[in-house]
Structure formats: C-alpha cells, structure tokens
Structure 1
Amino acid sequence: MSERDNLMHFRPEFDADVDVCGCVVSPLKTSMMVMDVSGCPSVPGTDEMEGLSAASGDSLSQDQKDMLERCLHALSHAKNDSQTLAALLLITRVCPASQLDRVTLRRVFEAVGLNLPARLLVTAVRGDTSSGLPAQELLSLGSALLAALSTDPDMAQHQQMLGTLPMLLGLLSDGPAWTPQKQRTPQTSQQKETGASPSKSNGDHSAQSSQPSPPEVAGEESGGQTSPSSAVVLNEALASDCYQVLEAVLVVSGGPERLLTRGAIPALCRAIGQSQTLSGQRGRPLLGLLLSQLGLQAWERHSAQLRAVLERLSREFCQAKEHQRLELCAELVQFLPPQEGLLERGALKRLAVELWAAVRPLVQSKLSTRQLGPVLALSACLLDLCGWDCVGPPRFCCLLVNRACVEVRMGLEEPPGTDMSLDLQHWLTACYRVMEAAMEQACSQGLDDNSVQPQTSLPGLSLQQSRQVLGILEEAFSAVIFYLKQVEQSRHGDPFVFATFRCLCAWLAEETSCLKEEVTSLLPFLIGYSRDHLQGGGDLRDLSSWMADMSMGPGSRKNKWTGEHALRYLLPALCHLTAEEGPRQVLLSLDLLSLLIGLLQRGWEGLQKQEVKAQRRDPALETACSALLNIAVTEPDKVRKDPSFSELQKLLDDALPLLLHKPRLLVLAANFCTLGLMLGRTKVTPSDLTDPGERRFFSAALRFLLGALGSAHGSPPGSVAAAWEEGWDEVGELWSLSLQALGACFRGRPGLMALVREQSWLANILSTLSIRGSLTDAPTLEALQEALCALAQMCPACRDEIREELRGGQASCLKDMKQLRRAVSQ
C-alpha cells in the first residue's frame, strides 16, 4: 500500500473533508511549537524532569489526560509513517498546543524521531514519486516536523537534524525546485556525520533504522546567480519552518559554527540577493546574528558573498528616508566586516564615504538617546574600519565627538544606584570607541608654543577646534571617573564596567596632565580591579568566557582571553603615573610591584614555551619594564630594601643570557638589560660578583651591549650592527641608559673588572671603534664615554689600554671623547 493510500486509510478517523496535507501539516505547525507572547517560537528547556506546567496540570480534564496517554501510546507503537502521522494529529486534537507541557513534548519527540522528516525531505528533493504525494506536500510535511522537533535543544543539535540543514538552506536560497545537483563542490563532512545514504520510504520502521542522510550538498558557494528555477516562489509556511530550524540550531552550543560549515552563509546571501520568501524578514536578521557570532571566520570564507549583501544593504540605507535609516543602523552594523583588509581598500573607502554621507544628517539631527544610540554605534564601527579620513569636514568630526561625549556624561552622571538598561550600555560602549578614536588621533608629539595642551591631528582641525575637542573629552572622562568610583567589587565581572575601564585606560595612555587629582584618587580602584581579574573567580570567570567569545582579533579566530587583560590595558598609564611623585607613592602603597613582577614572570614563562620561530614580541612585558625602570630610577631606597626587587633580579639573571639568542625579542632584551643594570647600580657598598646569578647576568649584559656595535667589518662607520638597525629607534635610548648604569656598576662592584678583562670586552670595544671611525650619534658617543671613563678610573690596566689606543692615533671616536682623554691622562 502506498504512502498516500495509508494516509487515506486513516482519513475517516480525522475529517473526511480535510485534505491530507491540511490534516497533517497545518495542525503540526501550530501544535508542536511552544509560542511565546510575541508569536515567535521559543525553545523549551532541556530538563525532562521539570514537570508539567500549571496550565497543563489544571486545564486538562481526566478524560483528556486518558485520551492523551492513549494517543502517546499509539504514537510510540506506530508501525509505519501513516500511523505516526495519524497519532500526531490525534494529539493535536486532544490537547491544544498551549497545554502541552515539556515532558509530554519530549515524549512526542522521542516517539517521532528525526528519521521520518528527513526521509520526507530526501524523497522530495530526489523527485521520488513512489510516496504518492507531490514533492511540495512532502517538503511541507517534512519541514513542519523538523520545525516542531527543533524546539527541543537536544533535537536541534542532533546529527540527523544537522544533516538536513543543507537541504533546508537549498530550499531557502533556490526555492522548491532546488536539487542537490545544483551544488558545485564535492560532498562535505556533514554527510559523514549522519552515516547512511538516502533511502526510499516504505512506511515500515525497519526503513527508519537506516537513518538516511541528505543527498550530496556543499558548504561553499561560488557567488554566482542560480538557475532560472529559482524564480519558483517558496511557500511562506515552508520557508517559515526552514527558518525555524536554522534559528533553533543557531542558539544551541556550537550552533553558529555548525551553520557555517554547512553552507548557511552563502545560502542566506543568495536568498537575500534574490529576495526569496521571508529572506528580508527572517533571512537577513538570521545572517546578521550569524555574523555577530562568527565575525572573522565568516568573512574570511565568504567575503565575496557578504560584500554583495553589504553593498545591497548599504544602498538601501543610503536611499531610505531618515526615520528608516534610524531603524537600519543596528542591522547595518552586523554586516560590516570586523576589520580592515577583508574588502579591497578602494571598495571599502567608497562604501565608507557613501555611508558617512547618509550618517551625517542623522548625527546633526535632534534625536533622543534611544534614536541616537544606534547611529553612534554605526559611527564607531566605521571609525574602526576606516579611521577619520572618510568621516567628513572638521566641523562634523568635532560634532561627532561632542555628541558621543554628551551621551557619556548624560548616561554616567546619574545618581549612585541608578540601573542602566542594556541598550544604554551598548550605546555608551560605542561612544567610548568614538572617544578612543579621537584620543588616538588627538595628541601629537609636540606642543603648541602658546599652549600647554597637546595639538590634535584630526583632519583639518584648527588649533581652537583641537582645544575644544580636548576640553569635551576631559569633561566626558571626568564622568567616567565619577562612574568608576561608584563601582563595587561585586560588579567587577560586569562587561560594561570592563568597557568603561578600558576606555579610561586608553585616555590615560595618551593624556597625562588633566584631572591629576581625580585620577590619583581612582588608583585604588584601578589596581584593585586589575588584581581581581588576575585572581579570577566567580563572576570574573563568566566575564572571561564572555569576552573570549566576543573578541575577534586580527589574524586569529579568537584572541585568547586571560585575567591579565585588565592590567595590560592599564600598563601604558602606569608608565606615566610611576614617573610622577604623587601617583607613584600611591601605586607603591597598593603593591604595584607584585603585579608588575608577576606579569613579567608569567610572560617570560610563556615565551620560553613557544618555539623560536613562533616567538613574537609582547609589548605588555616591555611596558611593564618601563614602569619598573621608573621606580628603580626614582626610588633607590625602595630597590635596596624591598624583597620584590630581589625576586625581579633573579628573573633577569636567568632570562637575559637566554634572550641573547632570540633576535625577535631584541627590545625585551634591551629592557631586561637596562632594568637589571639599574638595579645593580643601587648597591651601597662595593661588592664582588660572588653570586653565580649576578655573574651570569653581567656577563650577558657586557656581550649584549657590545653586540650593538657589531663586528669590525660588519657595518659602515657611524652605524649600529645590522641586527640592531631595524629596532634601533626603540632600543637606542635603552642602550645608552644601560651604558650609563654600567658605569655606575663599575664603581660599585670591583669584581666586574675581572669579568671585563676575562671577556676582552674593552679590547673589543676599542678595536671596533678604531676601524669604524667616528660615531655620528652624540648621545651614543656620550653614553659610551661615561662607561669607559668609569672603567678607566676603577681599573689601572684598563686605563693603560685606553691610553695606548689613544696614542696609536687610529681611534678617532676616542679622540672625540674629551672627558675620557682627561681621565686617562691623570
């Protein structure tokens, strides 16, 4: 007996006047979904033992309960597909959808399984006519069942459900005439997950055990237009069911990645490009959510298709009326590439120019916070992509920064205890990014002759406009400080607090003269917040997981998120603050040393675990060294008495010898060398090198400093060694400072003289200088002279060696060192 005959056999039990498709499909779509108050499908919980809902337990009569049990028994013991469908229909007639509790739904799901709807779809897309039903009815029935089953999270991530995704995506992108042969690439890995090949349905449960998988489908898309068959309009109910399944898969664990590997992005792009059924109402929002979750992964794999959708949406945005643009801002943000380089530079700039032209009137309008928030969020994303070049005239740049700062002041200067909505937090975070972008461009290297304020380099700004921008930023950051002072420790895991903290750190990294008293009073919070993140625990672990999911850095899928991020953001500010007396004393009282030294230790351990070719600079370690160097220079008594510095010296003793053989870490080696020598010069009484660690450090320091001059024949006169040339702008000043500290160490540690003689350090220096000629860099010459003078004063043999070299008449560099010549002539 055929499938259609089986269904007709049961029709008198239902309604002899109702069509088969009407009997089965329509009731299923309304009964198997749990509908929330907005009319959208909501996903039931996964706990089978939650019990019946109050509505289920109270509203059903005993006769209804008995009948429901008989129907469930018939469903679980059905011998073929027709009996399964009949039992399903009876359940929908006995118990309305709103009265089905989760336990009952799970029993229905387990009885029906995923084999039946999968086989219905396979039969339809292969054009198999043995079922006796048209393909459209099979598609409607299969998709309705899948949509109902997908409301259970366990079903939504079942391998058989995932195996049907390419077919559902094909229907959404190409319409009901889609066939597997339209895909161009080979079978992908998802078919291997489902196991068996498609088989024809015969109504027996023996056929269901084979677990048929869909025909060959592809996860990639060529980007071209589909065949003319795509003109066939997809039934709206069928399209709605397909989107229901995709939306259910999206929200389960790993759902975005599963949709990505099964070709969801190119299929949705194609559906949107051809204006397929519901593609605008549900396809575009679904694609936007996918991009929000996947970001870089999606753009790297499907940049051509996503660019087409972005250009389509951008045209719609630019051509829309003002009130429509306000509605489109939040959606457009989701479709922007996560970083520069994913689109051609010319295409990206053209797109940015067009979008800014449409955004400018919105920024200039009188809008409420709820209206302006999405506009500022879009502006922040455009700034991230293209900077200030495409924003517009200087007056508009000032206006944009001003509006962001005003929103921050209005949002943060509320009385303590005021609850802030999630939308407002999101919009204020966008304002922070506008402020950060302004700060990144605002402070130039020099100062104006008539002002102590730094100039700005925003495009075309006058000096007066620059001062206005800095004044507006100062007021906004005053509000940020006010807000952070109210934050309790229990809220250290709040993502919005972290965004506010990060924004303030960006400002403190650039601005060192404004709000000094306010910043100093906030230091206990800043250090305590950073320390809490390092220690982790509780809500902070939740924040770490959330930030790891949200962060998508250049060149990697997702940046590894650790508890160090808060301290790393604060480090540049600490460099400035440790150079000033008042803030430095507060920081020392807050045990800043343990934080910085602990960061260095963990960072060095991490570098040692990396392969040599994979080792990369860690700017945070270099910045931490700069802050410690400020303390070592300004607080010699602290260096001599605090045991933390002894711990730091041991780290430097072990690390510097190893760094000599890591050319990729030249800047870190220069920092370690300088810091260690600065610590070494604080010895009050002369001492020998009796400690093996100290001897190892100073031996490495001598070799490192000599390495900057290179071999006698390796570099032209007046230049540094070839290996140092690329990084000389960064390490040159450290090298000079190291030589000055080395001279002080010569005077305080007589044991160094023997090490210098043992390594022939002075002989190598003199030999290099005699061949290389004059050093054109005056600071380098002065630093070298200071070290040689100290050596000449402390070591008679060294003094004689220098004097002999001067008499030879070849070392023109030495002849330029007048102070050295006086020292050896005595």
Structure 2
Amino acid sequence: MKMAENGCHLNPEEVCAAQCPSSAEPTSAEGCSSDPSGLSPSQREVLERCLHALNHAKNDSHILAALLLITRLCPAGQLDTGTLHQLFEAVGFNLPARLLVTAFRGGDSSRLPPEELISLGTALLAALSTDASMVAHPQLLSTVPLILNILENGPNLKDNQTQTFGNEDQSGSGSQTESATDSQTTSSMSTLDEALACDCYQVLNAVCALPQGPEQLLTRGAVLALCRAVLKKQTLSHEKGLPLLGHLLSSSIRPRAWAKHSSDLLLLLGTISQNFCQASDLDRLEMCSQIPLFLPPPGVESESKVLKEIVGNLWASLQPLIQGKLSQEHLGLVLVVSACLLDLYGWESAGPPKFCCLLVNRACVEVRMGLEEPPGTEISPQLQHTLTACYRIMEAAMEQACSQMVVPNPALMQTAITGLSLQQSRQVLGALEEAFSAEIYYLKHLAQTSYDDPFLFATFRSLCAWLAEETSCLKEDVTDLLPFLIGYAKSHFKGEGESKGLADWMSKMSICNSSQDGTWSREAALRYLLPALCHLSAEDGPRRVLLSLDTPAMLVAFLSKGWASLRGQSGKTVTRDSSLETACSALLNFAITESERVRNDPCFIALETMLSEALPALLHKPRLLVLAANFCTLGLMIARLKSTSTDPVEVGQRRFFSSVLSFLLSAVQSGQASKPARISTLWEEHWEEAGELWRLSLQALGGCVRAQPWITILIRDEGWLQDIFTLLGSSGRLPDQPSQDALEEVLCAIAKQCPVCRKDISELVKSVSCGSLQGLPQLSTILVE
C-alpha cells in the first residue's frame, strides 16, 4: 500500500469511479436482519468486499474509494464494534489525520478539494470515535485542535492555515490572544456544512466522555474554541457546542477554564444572559437549567463590573418568575439559578427586601414539602437537586439576611439587607426555623446504611450551618438528634465505608460552598459540625449527651491529626486551619466544666502529651499564633486540674511551661515613658481573637501555680517576673483593664505560693526601671502582709 508521508496523493477520477462499482447493491435496507448494524445480507456482502479491498489497497485512492462506499452503505453510528475494529486495523488513525493536515496546509500534493479532504477525515474520525476503546488513542486526540479549528472558524482554509497545527493549548500569546469581539468580526467566514459539524461534535463528545476527557479537551483549547464558535454563531454551535461547553464548565476543570479564558467566557455569559432576559417567561423557564453551567465559580471575577451587571440583569428577569405561579419542576430550576447567583454576590444584587423575603420563603416551603414526608419516602434526584439549592438560599439568609447583632433585647434584631423591617425579619426567621425543623425530622428517620448518600450530607451540612449560628431554637429536638449527628461525623472521620458516592458528588456538584474547595474529605462532616459543638458543649444538657457519646475523644483525634499535618509546614507554606481552633474551643468547654472527666479520661491525657509537644514548635510559626494561643490555654486549663505531686517533673511538662512563659510574654512590649505597655506587633493583628485566650491563659497559669508549686521555680529560673515588670514600665499597667486584672491574678498567685517570688516582686517594684503597684492593688496588699 503506497502511502504519502506528508500528504495524500489522490486521483479524483479513480475515487469517483470506485464509488459505484457494478457489484454494489442498493444501499437501502431490505427486509429484517439480525445484523447488529441493521444491514441486509446483500449489504453485508458488499461491506465485506469493501473491508477486503481496504486490507489489500495499493494506494490512498483505493482506500478512500472503499471508505466512501462503506459510508454510503452504512452510517458511522450504525457500524458494529467488530466492523469498526476492522476499519481501524485496515486504515488506522494515520489516514484521517493526514487528510486534515493536507487540507489545512494545502499545496499541490493533493488533487482533491480541501473541503472534501476535511469531510472525509472528520467522517472517518467520527466513525472510529463511536468505539470507546479507540477514543483515547493518541493519534485521535492529536486531531482535536484541528477539529476545534474547523468548528470555530468554519471551512475557510485561507484563514485556518494561519493556525498552528498540533498546538495543544490555544490559549497562549500571539494570534491566539485576540479578543472574542474581534474574532466575531471575521469577514471571510463561510458557512460550515451541517454534516461536517455533526462529525466534529461526535469526536469531541466522545473524547469528553473519557474519564480524563474534560482535561484532555481543556489542554487542547476546547473551551476557548467552543466559546468563540458559539459567539460567531457557527453551524450547530448552539445546538451541540453550547451543551458540550456547559458540560466542560460544570466538570472539575471549571476553575482553571475560568482562570485561563475569563474574558471570552464573560462575553459568552453576557450573550446567554441577554438572550435569557429578552425571552418570554415560558422560554426563560426552559433556559434556567442552562444558566448555572456558565456562571463562574464563587470568588472568580468577583471584582468584575461586567459580571455584577450580568448578575443584576439575571435577578431582574428571575423576579417575575419567582413571584409567579410555577410548577414544582419549573420552580426547582428557578431556585437552582437563584442559589448560584447568591453564591456569587449574596443579596447585593438580588433586589428589594420584599423579593428577598419571598425567595427565602419559597425555598423554605420547598424544603418542608420535600422533607416532611412519611419515613421511607424516596426523594427523586431532581427534587434532591432542588432542595440542595434551597439549602444554599437558607444558608445565605442565615449569613446575611438574618444576621443578628448583639443587642440587649433579641426582638430588636437588625439585618444585613437594607430596608428589611422587623416584621419581615421575624417572618424570615420563622420560615427558616420551620425548614430546619423539617431537616431534623428527615435526619431522625435515616439509618446508618445511608451515610454515603450525598443528599444526606447536603442536609447534614445545611443543619450544621444553622446550628453554627442558632442553638437556642429547637433545643430539645437538636439535643435528641445529637447521637445521629455525632455518629455521622464520627463514621466518616474514622473512615467507615467507602464514601465513594460522596467523593464523586462533591467533585461534580454545581452548588458547593465548601471551605475545602469543593472536594470531599473524611473530615468534612466533622468540620461542619464543629461550630455547633462549640456552642452545645457550653450548655449543660447537650454537654451531658456529648460526653455520653465520647465526643471529646473524637475532637482530640481530629486535633492530633490536624497538628500532624501542620507540623511539617514552615514559613510561608503554613496554612491556618480555623477548624482546629474551633475544636480547641469545644474541648476548652469540657476542660472548664467537667473536671472529673478531664482528670480520668485517657483522651485528655493523650491531649496533654500532644500539646506539650506542639506548643514549643508553634512558637516558631507566627502564622499560627491563634492556634498557639488555643493550645496554650487548653494545656493550662488541663494542667490546673492536676493534684500536687512529689514525683519528678517530666521533661515534656517542663518544656511546655517554659514555652507558655515565653509565649505569654511575647504578647506585650514596652510603651513610651509613663505610658501603659502595648500589645506587641506580633499579636496586634490577631488580638481580637487571641486577646481573650491570653487573659484566660494567665488566669489558668495562676491555677497551675497553686496546684503545682514547682512552676514557681521555673518562673524564677526563666526570669519571667523581671521581664514582666520591665515591660510594664513606670506606669505598671497594661493597655486595657481586663488584661490588667488577668495579669494581677497570676502575680498574686505566684506571690502567695512562693515567698521567694514575693520578695523578688517587692524588689522589682522598688527599682525605678520596673514600675510601681498603682495598677495592681491586690498584689500590693499581699506584699505588705
């Protein structure tokens, strides 16, 4: 078989003559046949002759003649797998690729029109791509940029010849970076043949269906090419290109696609939004399923004025739909779009307060209707998707529309939506309470076998968002549900079950506000529950239930795992994890209120050991100062409960208290003459979060001094008292009274416990450079006793 290396040498007359051999049978089906392709016996006979001719072809013209006859005999989509494999073995991917390259490059090597070469090449690729085992072949993938070029620019080869062949990322510099606006004005564009477009989209859809298909298409410039094809209104770009692009943008490549092609995607979104706004109400309802696919991920392009305008226009067009009477299916589509828009800008562009209240109310009603069904009622996937969107609307209402400010009278609630009246605020809170009550009802009736259900996770997450803000409402119901909530979080955290369904769902869900960037981890459920545990562990009734469920052990395991992850990080690689700080707060509640449990529970002994190892290391990680403050406070609160012992002090314990003294000292720096000491630069940025922990640590240190007298020896050895009075300066004061009171408490404890320390303090006060006792009246009393 004679194959040209750099082009196809074709004889048009030979090809045309070969298309109609005298032995060929009519191409229409005759009668019934069990043949997988639906061919009659006579057609099958001709097909076998063509395959034989392919295997014994002497040149490209003979190959093409046989292929053309096969395509006339049976469409590519009807060829059975066996026939496709025979075609591949006879032709391979080399020929269709060379046909496309020859057509684009032009020249005298080809004696067929370029349009026919393109048509033949794409038809062959379309046929071969119908078999999943062939789609991932490197030679087929190498033709994707050429196919995208055809769809974007049409068959105008004069323009196409300027493109770079085999370029696997068409988002680079040079000619590829011209704006989409310019690309729409290509004057020499000709109409793309519909059959050719069908073949091209067949190949792209087949590639997209591969496990790494979206990734393969992204790296070969599919997002940009499809976007521009739609903007140019190329053949079938709306019918086939837009759905394919929507599928790509809803996959895992979404963030990178927007990062690389934001200007073109924004232009496309603007066009889609304009069409949506100009459509009739009925057409808008049908288009609602399309809008979320083309919205950017939350946070991307958040400062874009263009995107803000688009979102505002979409809200304006959604308002009459939400205010109207809709079927459950259509209402679900509208609520999903609304949830996605809230992810972008919250309530900022949503509209007047009355409309916002209506949206929240409709979402809450849908949740109640969907969840308050008899136990065992199956919720359809479509309804689950709608309810997930409703959860996001409810969460947005919790975050902004009903965010309470601390006021003496809870009835005088203020809200984040300008103009929302007190009555409207109460109505929204009432609707939310009823909806979250429905979530509790639903969760109460679920068995452990459903722990891997993605919708259960969405419901669990939604309820946790409510409990993070509000634990006083539905308190008895929440307390009764605690065994389920703890069991669910513990099951995932311990790795019980595969959780594959959750992992797949988290990677694909269109409405996701996860702090873990939308990916599933076994810690996710516990992370969402932690803020609620922080509140509930402070209340007697819920805390007793949490203790009975061995919740502290789970929190200690989470904290230890988190520290193990942070320990190896340093410098700018250190990433703050607020969930670890929240876990510390919950454990601190147990340490303050449950002294007997803390003394005897093995998990607190393990926690103390971990904190003794962690705090010294945290002194060298300034980015984790708030976590260090939590570790310091928690360790001191546990240590204060120990009874006096004559046993030798453990090395780890001594190292922990030495780190405590250094850490607490680092929060203060000397002020100007006769002025109070100041909060150090290191602590100043985090003082709002860490200041209370610092004061609590000082108080706990006083308790430790009383329980373990050896600490006063360490205090003297470290020169801590001298350092403190030197920092206080001549004023002898800290910048605020609560901090001053906490410092005085620990100084009084030290002075009472250790006569030598009391003498040291007296001498330090007499020193001109170390200040006075004017701001420490209780300590002054102890010194004169």
Q: Verify same fold: TM over 0.5.
A: yes
* Aligned-residue offset at 1:6: 3.0
**What is the CA distance between 1:774 and its match in structure 2?**
2.9
Corresponding letter in the other structure for 2:13: D
- Equivalent position to 1:731, from 679, 690, 699: 690
Q: Where does residue 544 of structure 2 map in the other structure? A: 585
Match for residue 114 of structure 2 among 97, 114, 135: 135
Correspondence list, 1:274-673, <5 A: 274-293=232-251, 294-342=253-301, 344-444=303-403, 446-447=405-406, 449-451=408-410, 455-536=414-495, 538-548=497-507, 561-673=520-632
**Number of equivalent positions:** 770
Residue deviations 1:526-579 (CA, integer Å, cap 9, x gap): 112112212335540342244245599999996654211111111111101111
| Aligned match for 1:164, one of 143, 147, 151 | 143
Q: Contact 2:145–2:167 at 8 Å: present in 1 too?
A: no
Aligned 8 A contact 2:705 2:749 in 1: yes
| 2:86 is equivalent to residue 107 of structure 1 | yes
Q: 1:452 to 1:179 in 2, by over 3 A?
A: same
Q: CA deviation at 1:621?
A: 0.6
**1:402-426 deviation digits (Å, cap 9, x = unpaired):** 0011111111112222222222111
Distance 1:173 1:715 in 2: 75
Which residue of 78, 85, 103 corresponds with 1:124? 103
Amino acid at match of 1:348: L
Q: CA deviation at 1:444?
A: 4.0
Residues 434-470 of structure 1 show CA distances to partners (whole Å, capped at 9, x for unaligned) of: 0010111145453555546854333321111111111
Check whether the contact 2:135–2:207 (CA below 8 A) recurs between aligned residues.
yes
Residue correspondence of structure 1 range 668-683 to structure 2 within 5 A: 668-683=627-642
Distance in 1 of aligned mates of 2:35 and 2:174: 42
CA distance in 2, matches of 1:608, 1:165: 45
**Does structure 1 residue 239 correspond to structure 2 residue 197?**
yes
Bigger mean CA offset, 269-278 vs 107-116: 107-116
SS at structure 1 position matched to 2:676: coil
Could you tell me how far 1:312 is from its partner in structure 2? Answer: 0.8
**2:126 counterpart residue number:** 147
CA contact (8 A) 1:715 1:721 kept: no
Residue 254 of structure 1: which of 188, 205, 212 is its match?
212
Match of 1:8 among 16, 21, 24: 16
Pairing 1:714-725 to 2, within 5 Å after superposition: 717-725=676-684
| 1:665–1:362 distance in 2 versus 1, CA, 3 Å | same
| Conservation of the 8 A alpha-carbon contact between 1:292 and 1:334 | yes
Q: CA deviation at 1:668?
A: 0.4
Q: Give 1:157 shift.
A: 2.0
Q: CA deviation at 1:795?
A: 0.5
Note the aligned Cα RMSD (angstroms): 3.1
1:761 matched residue in structure 2: 720
- Seen in structure 2, the aligned counterparts of structure 1 residues 500 and 220 have a Cα distance that, compared at 3 Å, is farther
| 8 Å CA contact 1:659, 1:669 repeated in 2 | yes
Trace 1:792-811 onto structure 2 (pairs within 5 A): 792-808=751-767
Deviation at 1:231, TM superposition (A): 3.0
1:604/1:322 CA distance change after superposition, 3 Å: same
Contact in 1 for aligned 2:618/2:624 (Cα 8 Å): yes
Distance 1:748-1:465 versus aligned 2 partners, 3 A rule: same
Paired AA for residue 373 in structure 2: E
Structure 2: gaps (5+ residues): 1-8
Q: CA, structure 1 residues 75+615, in 2 after alignment: closer, same or farther (shift >3 Å)? A: same
1:48 aligned partner: none
* Deviation at residue 686 of structure 1 after TM alignment: 4.8
3-state SS, counterpart of residue 694 of structure 2: helix
Shift of 1:128: 3.7
Q: What is the CA distance between 1:85 and its match in structure 2?
A: 3.8
Contact (CA 8 Å) 2:389, 2:511: kept in 1 or not?
A: no
Quick one: structure 1 residues 393 and 553, their matched pair in 2 at CA, closer, same or farther if it must change by over 3 Å? closer
Distance 1:16 1:541, change over 3 A: closer
> How much does 1:489 deviate?
2.0
Is 1:225 the equivalent of 2:152?
A: no
User: What is the letter of the counterpart of residue 4 of structure 1?
Assistant: P
Asked if the contact 2:674–2:729 (Cα under 8 Å) also holds between the matched residues in 1, the reply is no
Please tell me the residue identity of whatever aligns with 1:174: N
Kindly provide the amino acid, as one letter, of the partner of residue 16 in structure 2.
Answer: M
Shift in alpha-carbon separation, 1:89–1:349, aligned structure 2, 3 A: closer
8 A Cα contact 2:50 2:70, kept in partner? yes
The SS at the match of 1:347 is helix
SS at match of 2:250: helix
CA apart distance, 1:261 = 1.7
CA distance in 1, matches of 2:677, 2:698: 18
Aligned partners of 2:266 and 2:307 also within 8 Å = no
Superposed CA offset, 1:627-686 (max 9, x none) = 100111110000001011010001000000011111111000000000000000111345
1:487-524 Cα deviation digits (max 9, x unpaired): 22222222211111111111110111111111111112
The answer to whether the Cα contact below 8 Å between 1:175 and 1:231 also exists between their aligned partners in 2 is yes
Distance 1:59 1:298 in 2: 42
Deviation at 1:105, TM superposition (A): 3.1
Structure 2 letter corresponding to 1:523: L
Partners of 1:463 and 1:584 in 2: how far apart? 33
Pick the aligned partner of 2:227 from 252, 258, 269: 269
Instruction: Tell me the secondary structure at the aligned position of residue 13 of structure 1.
Output: coil
Give me the TM-score of the superposition, normalised by structure 2: 0.91
Amino acid at match of 1:717: P
1:259-288 Cα offsets, whole Å, 9 max, x none, are 112121221222111211111111111111
Cα shift at 1:139: 1.5
* TM-superposed deviation, 1:702: 1.0
User: What is the percent sequence identity of the aligned residues?
Assistant: 55
Measured at CA, do residues 739 and 452 of structure 1 come closer, stay the same or move farther in structure 2, by a change above 3 Å? farther
Residue by residue over 1:574-597, the C-alpha shift from the partner in whole angstroms, topping out at 9 and shown as x without a partner, is 101111111111112212122111
- Deviation of 1:525 (Å): 1.5
Against the structure 1 CA distance between its residues 506 and 76, is the aligned structure 2 distance closer, same or farther, given a 3 Å change threshold?
Answer: farther
C-alpha distance 559-647 of structure 1, shift in aligned 2 (>3 A): same
- Shift of the 375–641 alpha-carbon distance from structure 1 to 2, 3 Å rule, reads same
In the alignment, structure 1 residue 825 sits paired with structure 2 residue 784: yes
Separation of aligned partners in 1, 2:37 and 2:314: 56
User: What's the secondary structure of 2:576's corresponding residue?
Assistant: coil
Give the direction of change, closer, same or farther, for the CA distance of 1:521–1:81 in structure 2 (3 Å limit): farther
Residue 755 of structure 1 deviates from its aligned partner by 0.4
Bigger shift: 629-638 or 179-188?
179-188
Cα-to-partner distance string for 1:669-709 (whole Å, 9 max, x where unaligned): 00000000000011134556611111111111111111111
Letter in 2 for 1:223: A
Distance change in 2, residues 1:323/1:446 (3 Å): same
What letter matches 1:799 in structure 2? R
